[in-house]
Chain A
Amino acid sequence: MKILVAVKRVIDYNVQIRVKEDGTGVVTDNVKMSTNPPDDNAIEEAVKIKEAGKATEVVAVTVGEEKAQETVRKALAVGADRGIHVKVDGILEPLAVSKILQKIVDKEKPDLVFMGKQAIDDDCNQTGQMLSALLNWPQATFASKIDVKDNKLEVTREIDEGLETIEINVPAIVTCDLRLNEPRYASLPNIMKAKKKPIEEIAASDLGVDVSPRLEQLKVEEPPKRKAGIKVANVAELVQKLKNEAKVI
């Protein structure tokens, strides 16, 4: 079984983002970037499946500008075998990314495609589902447990009401929840070894995919600030305020 894992470079989740004064977006210059957190879970799961002898190869793919390759290199350092970097500049919508990934799937013919359930920058939560639609493959979204059984996967999904378990035939798409596993850290020797692993570079323009945006981002602004609250001296005052001022209890 061959697993393709899609990873995205985003502003690090610990960074307090700042909105640009001209309202065109958020500040990304000199800001720490890293792999989208649930994409780390996707890589980890693929590597674990390979270590369990149930997969033969793990290929990490990213779509984006020059520096996006760092996320592929990181995936190689934690166990992916080789990488693919589809180079393209500018903001890509999930629809465009899924069309590019479809081309990579056509070329690589993986049995499984893993990726994070959502990117923490645009919070779209679309790419995996869109890719499975384009391929007409089954989709297991928000996965918190994956059991590989021959040519099937049993996947537990995190849904609003609790947990749902489904069985999907390969080839299939799985989007990963943070609860799926605990991603490992790359060891120094493995980081060194990863530098020798191959990354194929492909220009998005060579794939014959229309990636032009369909959405216009008219404005990005700071959310309305809450008005400053007060500190209360003790519990009795707190309960009185809740009862008589806020009138919520």
Chain B
Amino acid sequence: MAVLLIAEHNNKELRPFTLNAATAASQIDSDVHAVIIGQNSADAAKQLSELPVVKKVLSVEGAHYENFTAENFAPVIVKLAENYSHIVCSANTFGKNLMPRIAAHLDTSQVSDIIKVISTDTFLRPIYAGNAFATIKSNDAKKCVTIRPTSFDPCESTGGSAPIEKVDASEEFSNTKFIKREEIKSDRPELGTARIVVSGGRGMQSGDNFKLITEIADKLGAAIGASRAAVDAGYISNDHQVGQTGKVVVPDLYIAVGISGAIQHLAGMKESKVIVAINKDGEAPIFSVADYGLEADLFEALPQFMEELNKLNTIQK
């Protein structure tokens, strides 16, 4: 039986992590079908049909799907699940909210947030905030799997031409009403997908001092992150938080400034390709994961860092 991928989108276009989830789905079985549920989402459905790994697109349209409410999405997918061995989507807030509702209806024990497909029934997933990895075999007939998007490369986005099939909508769930969504807009790259992340911790000492980080982030075309300590201290808003309870990031370069490296912070960034730590405490745990550690006062180091960057002829973007 084929694998059913649940597409995440905003009714106009696919959200980027759909491509990562498609890669994971295709590693479970090459026969991947994708369901897209929304309102006026034809353009996104077409985009989905162009992913070469997707063999068929199922499109479900209805006004009550406009805001992606799990209570409305789950019944449609549960019905479609009859024809599939696996249901797959991203383990971001969209998938985390939705998939367990599907799994419970199917009486399946979900496998959450996998980082590797070992076989069609066996997966690797982090537990204890990434401090241990568990190899899990699912014995359920139907498997519900959410994937950690940053652990799978995005699939090719063009070249495919899967057929798009319409599927009937299910009834509206009337006890949940969408009111509003406040999206955080920024000219900077998104934290979850940025190539470079510059993060500040409690060592920044104030929100004002984050401008030292902002300056460097702008120069590097980087996203701005923060430790939970910096967020709790009110230096920066919580959508910047990297860690177990914030975002998990896997950039090419992660620069941790004034961050001691608490367990929950490391869980969110230690898979980054290159890690830099700038901290005046040479014993800080952050240095144990850093490729390049600089033991220095950040208030001296950051302006120098900016100067050095200004000296460079070119900076990769």
Contact = CB atoms under 8 A, between A and B. Distances in A.
Interface stretch (B36-44, B52-60, B160-168, B170-178): B170-178
Interface in B90-112: 91-94, 96-105, 107-112
A216 B139 contact: yes
Interface stretch (B21-29, B81-89, B179-187, B204-212): B179-187
Nearest to A228: B288
Contacts of A133: 74, 100-105
A208 interface: no
A178 B246 CA distance: 10
A230 B292 contact: yes
A139 B127 CA distance: 25
Given A138-B173, A214-B138, A223 B109 contact: no
Given A94-B100, A219-B134, A165 B179 contact: yes
A162 B182 contact: yes
Contact of B127 (A16, A123, A215): A123
Interface in B132-157: 132-140
Nearest to B184: A162
Contacts, number: 243
Interface residues of A, number: 76
A158 to B, nearest CB: 7
Contacts of A165: 179-182
B214 interface: no
Contacts of B290: 229
A220 B139 contact: no
A17 B316 CA distance: 39
Contacts of A141: 70, 93, 96-97
Given A120-B244, A229-B293, A249-B316, A169 B175 contact: yes
B312 A243 contact: yes
Judged by DSSP, the binding face of B is mixed
B65 interface: no
Interface of B: 69-71, 74, 91-94, 96-105, 107-113, 122, 126-140, 173, 175-184, 192, 196, 220, 238-239, 244-245, 247, 252-253, 263-264, 270, 273-276, 282, 287, 289-296, 301, 304-305, 307-309, 312, 315-316
Given A218-B135, A242-B276, A249-B220, 15 more contacts: A13-B263, A26-B128, A125-B100, A125-B113, A128-B100, A160-B92, A166-B178, A167-B177, A172-B175, A214-B108, A214-B140, A223-B133, A229-B287, A242-B253, A246-B274
17 contacts: A17-B131, A98-B104, A123-B113, A123-B128, A130-B100, A133-B101, A139-B176, A165-B181, A178-B245, A214-B109, A215-B138, A217-B134, A218-B135, A221-B133, A226-B275, A231-B295, A249-B312
